[in-house]
Every structure is written in structure tokens, then in C-alpha cells.
Amino acid sequence: MGEIKPYTPVMPIVAVFSRYDEAFNWVKEKLKEKWGEISLTSKRFLFSSFTDY
């Protein structure tokens, strides 16, 4: 049987894509409920900010 060893805590990374602001707010609340306060966030990018499409 395997041996249980101490581990180093990690920071989950989450990417959220949606055109709806309500979806971002909903996900943010769900993530807080699951893992606590959010440490880092980026600004929201508009889909029109990208020229690939």
C-alpha cells in the first residue's frame, strides 16, 4: 500500500468564457464558495478585442 506524504498546497487556475456578465458573477460566487477568496483576476476582455475571427 502507498505511503501518505505531505504535499505543497496549490492554487487552482480557472478560465471563464461568456458573453454574459451575469455568468461571470455567478461563477465568481461559486468559486468563492468552493475555494474561498479569489487571489488574482484579470480584466474582462471583450470578444471584439480579438482580430482572429
Q: What is the pLDDT of residue 49?
A: 62
The C-alpha cell at 46 is 471583450
Q: What is the pTM of this model?
A: 0.66
Extents of the domains making up the chain:
13-53
HSE at residue 51, side-chain half, CA atoms within 13 A, is 0
Q: What is the pLDDT of residue 50?
A: 64
pLDDT in tens, 2-19: 999 998 988 899 999 888
The pLDDT > 70 percentage for the chain reads 89
